[in-house]
Chain A
Amino acid sequence: MSKWIDVCHIDDLQPDSGVCALVEGRQIAIFYLPRLNAVYAIGNFDPFSEANVLSRGMVGDLGGQLMLASPMYKQHFNLQTGICFEDAAISVPAYPARIDNDRVAIRMSE
């Protein structure tokens, strides 16, 4: 089963950029794209550098897919699936995320 977990207020987010949240012991990078009025959530751990830094990367799109560029070695990850653009065998977890009544929530499995 899964559930929506309230994480923070929308003002805690950074426009076109990321923050990291601690949700049930997991580090989750949350990105806010005002142009799409949407939030996206993926794991904060960068599998390439093995550091918790993905929330500090830059967001945008590549070839029509939403992406996050790791701040460390610049690999790109799909914001919706967590799959790495450069190596499809590598991915980070991706979580459904939403803005509801100015609150940001993440859906996690139990």
Chain B
Amino acid sequence: MNTKQTLVVIGNGMVGQHFLTKLVESAAKDHFHIVTFCEEPRAAYDRVHLSEYFTGKSAEDLSLVSADFFAEHGIEIHLGDKAATIDRQQKQVTSAKGVVIRYDKLVLATGSYPFVPPVPGHERAQCLVYRTIEDLEAIKAAAENSKIGTVVGGGLLGLEAAKALTDLGLETHVVEFAPRLMAVQLDDGGGAMLRHKIQALGVKVHLNKNTSLIDDGEQCLHKMNFADGEVLETDLILFSAGIRPRDDIARACGLEIGPRGGIVIDNQCKTSDPHIYAIGECALWNGQIFGLVAPGYTMARTVAADLSGTEASFTGADMSTKLKLMGVDVASIGDAHARTQGAMVYTYQNGSREIYKRLVVSQDKKQLLGAVLVGEASGYSTLLQYCLNGIELPENPDALILPQRSDESVGLGPDALPASAQICSCHDVSKGQICGAIEAGCTTIGQLKSATKAASGCGGCAPLLKSVLDCELIKLGVEVSTDICEHFPHTRQDLYNLIMVEQIKTFDDLLDKHGRGLGCEVCKQAVGSILASYWNDYILEKPHIGLQDTNDTYLANMQKDGTYSVVPRVTGGEITPDGLIALGQVAKKYGLYTKITGGQRVDLFGARVEQLPLIWNELIEAGFESGHAYGKSLRTVKSCVGSTWCRFGIDDSVGLAIELENRYKGLRAPHKIKFAVSGCTRECAEAQGKDIGVIATENGWNLYVCGNGGMKPRHADLFATNLDKATLIKYIDRVLIFYVRTAARLQRTSVWMENMEGGLDYLKAVILEDRLGLADELEQQMQHVIDTYQCEWKTTLQDEQKLKRFRHFVNSDQADDNVVFVEERGQVRPANVEERKHFKLIEEAA
């Protein structure tokens, strides 16, 4: 007998009990002495049918264990005793009541607990949860002196709890954080239909509600205060805001836990310790928690088999569900949200009969991937079969949800880029995935971002994403809107013309005359840029403040930790030793990280908002000015050393670069503009990779336009040859203002040129031959910009009112304590997450 090993099972819930039942039926039965800890005062019961406790079932009715089960199988059960700690070295479990059991194998079946959002007031009386028989008893007692009950959480369980509250005779409210009910299982359309039907049954549904505080009510016991300022009075609150795995004892003994909780298991349900298994709702498999009982049962069977030496594995589970919620049929099968790559969607909605159905099929329309049914779920089993067994769909899959067959099908044309082309490198999203999301219904960049994550990292791929979207939508026959955003039914170019023709000077004026709503970061920045190009006012004038992105607002570049970098202008890359020393002194004084940029100047990083004016002041005193590294404006004019020193140099590239940079500095444009000037054809300044490139020849300057480095390099086009300086400048004036007037938002000159009808020839006709008769006007407009140039740092320093903005807090002189630096290679850099935690601990200890 003492050759038997000891098996300890922690938790005697639905899955723990299923495991015991399977184990005693298996060959392993004789090898183990079994001990189980059961925290609850009674052995396992049917939680799935818990609500029936309200409709007359007793605790005995719900029990899953026959009276003599434990005795019959010699299982030692510790009722009402909780396993408190696991010592993996000694391989023993100690309970809350002090029982110590040594184990050979350990199974964790601790389930989950209801998540209660940490809203202030959540611990008040009659704020309850819905998980155990004791919870239900408490609800019943509270309901007796209540009129109104509110469920926080509009998921599956929340709605079941709401049903229970209505059955108890309460006026019932459901408060949901997300914009729809059953956000996990249903799509927007299904959620909306369900809401409609549930409200018709008298339950009041409140979506998009973030409870910020629960305090005393006037008519009721509680008042729930929502973040949007609204309130709801209620006598009883039931939290049903999701479940969290009970992984605390596993965590405490050092087992591997998922980043968002859950005991990590492999296909044999083994945790990171080979002697310990985890099953049911506490287990995390492949990054997933399974909040349903069936997958838990499969895990239980897997472990029972593994312990008897039979091969078995848990490889995920189908999470399809069909239920009647308050009399409403609701079903969700497989990939209801069309997250599968390339998934396509069919939707059927019958408003008068209140039916909503959605089919998600594979790209080739052969496989059913998922479905959502609300109002009528008769097709559930058939659809589930199609889905689980991979049965090939009929030619028109929509026939499965339509009352009548329709012949419409969605066609797709050939693609320019291959489907495998990576569009977003941050999130590794291919063009195929993006097209899939577009087919699944995404029609805006915002939707694509949420669906695929593309462009939600560094954002650098956004323009490319947009062009894929437009191209795909055209293919799908959808009319592509060229409107800048929802606030103006116009393109940037239209807006430019409106501002010019009507002499509009502020965003508010433009919005009143031609827009709607309040505006957004897209139209505000675009209009801010147009106003700045056209009128060249100081960009922080009151009416313009809200139009600037943070870089422009603070006249510096925001870094990842919320500090800024400062880039003084170093025209043409030429700098005196004293200038260099001054930069070094300022950097040293303010503890800034310094780096030589790819634009031939020096960048000073890590300045806090409140330090910016101090730093500018010192830089200005040393003869520097703003380098506009923050603006969609002229950046740098790079130069090579040129004829002054270089033995091959033909002309003075540095001199010209300085002259050009001084001429165009401060010019705001649809995107940034870069120049370079090389002293000979060896092209050391890389002028042919710039928006404007100039190369010296024996007979004058050659002008190149519309080059680009960056994401999609483009060689500049040779535009005019052998120019004298005056002509060169005249042409550049014209090209730049023509670009400012006609380009789309955030379009570099390279893309502008490529999208221009007539291309290079047309541009030559406009600029060199003055085809449009605009040449004088373009030159005059440039002259206005040049005449009204100001160093924005200097202007800001002269204005007390403006300087107010340069402090972290409006009501305190403290600095942001989240900004922490560490040293690397002799300079500072932002601390990473781990390092920050470490500092916080030290601080707290001090």
Contact = CB atoms under 8 A, between A and B. Distances in A.
B519 A57 contact: no
A29 to B, nearest CB: 10
B228 A60 contact: no
A99 interface: no
Interface in B542-558: 542-543, 545-550, 553-554, 558
B818 A52 contact: yes
Contacts of A110: 120
B212 interface: yes
B167 to A, nearest CB: 30
Given A19-B810, A85-B446, A69 B228 contact: no
Contacts of A27: 809, 816
A65 B456 CA distance: 21
Contacts of A83: 177, 208, 210
A7 to B, nearest CB: 6
Contact of A53 (B524, B542, B550): B550
A47 interface: no
Interface in B802-846: 804-805, 808-812, 814, 816, 818-819, 833
A7 B545 contact: no
Interface residues of A, number: 61
A75 B486 contact: no
Nearest to A1: B215
A64 to B, nearest CB: 8
A81 B215 contact: no
B213 A59 contact: no
Nearest to A57: B550
A7 B117 CA distance: 28
Given A62-B486, A73-B459, A93 B508 contact: no
A18 to B, nearest CB: 9
Nearest to B609: A56
Contact of B449 (A14, A59, A81, A86): A86
Contact of B521 (A21, A53, A69): A69
Contacts of B554: 56
B489 interface: no
Contact of A58 (B210, B226, B227, B521): B521
Contact of B520 (A8, A13, A30, A62): A62
A81 B210 contact: yes
B184 to A, nearest CB: 10
Contacts of A64: 517
A51 B810 contact: no
B258 interface: no
Contacts of A81: 208-210, 226-228
Given A30-B810, A88-B179, A58 B525 contact: yes
A60 B213 contact: no
B520 A61 contact: yes
Nearest to B813: A22
Given A8-B811, A85-B446, A86-B450, A33 B558 contact: no
Given A27-B816, A56-B558, A88-B183, A74 B546 contact: no
B95 to A, nearest CB: 36
B655 interface: no
A80 B216 CA distance: 22
B121 to A, nearest CB: 7
Interface majority SS on B: helix, strand, loop or mixed?
Answer: loop
Contacts of B459: 73-74
A72 B518 contact: no
A81 B207 CA distance: 11
A98 to B, nearest CB: 9
Contacts of B560: 49, 51, 72
Contacts of B120: 109-110
A91 B506 CA distance: 33
A26 B452 CA distance: 34
Contacts of A19: 805, 810
Interface residues of B, number: 62
Nearest to A110: B120
Interface in A38-83: 45, 49-53, 56-64, 66-67, 69, 71-76, 78, 80-83
Contacts of A21: 809-812
Contacts of A57: 521, 550
Contacts of A56: 550, 553-554, 558, 562
B811 A22 contact: yes
A32 to B, nearest CB: 9
Nearest to B462: A74
B545 A15 contact: yes
A33 to B, nearest CB: 7
A96 B231 CA distance: 12
B248 to A, nearest CB: 23
Contacts of A76: 446
A81 B229 CA distance: 9
Given A51-B818, A86-B450, A109-B213, A60 B227 contact: no
Given A12-B804, A30-B810, A17 B542 contact: no
A53 B608 CA distance: 12
A27 to B, nearest CB: 7
Interface string B462-498: 0000000000000000000000001100000000000
A28 to B, nearest CB: 9
B178 interface: yes
Interface in B586-628: none
A2 interface: yes
Contacts of A73: 456-459
A89 B546 CA distance: 28
Nearest to B214: A109
Given A58-B521, A58-B525, A61-B520, A109 B508 contact: no
A69 B449 CA distance: 14
B805 A71 contact: no
B227 A35 contact: no
A49 to B, nearest CB: 6
A93 B457 contact: no
Interface in B213-230: 213, 215-216, 225-229
A17 to B, nearest CB: 5
Contact of A35 (B446, B508, B804): B508
B160 to A, nearest CB: 21
B667 to A, nearest CB: 23
A96 B229 contact: yes
Interface in B149-184: 177-179, 183
B561 interface: yes
16 contacts: A8-B810, A12-B804, A12-B810, A14-B805, A22-B811, A52-B818, A56-B558, A57-B550, A60-B517, A62-B520, A73-B457, A74-B459, A82-B210, A89-B178, A91-B177, A94-B212
Given A8-B810, A36-B518, A52-B808, 9 more contacts: A16-B546, A20-B809, A21-B811, A64-B517, A71-B550, A80-B229, A81-B209, A91-B210, A94-B228
The 4 closest A-B pairs by CB, nearest first: A16-B546, A94-B227, A71-B550, A51-B562
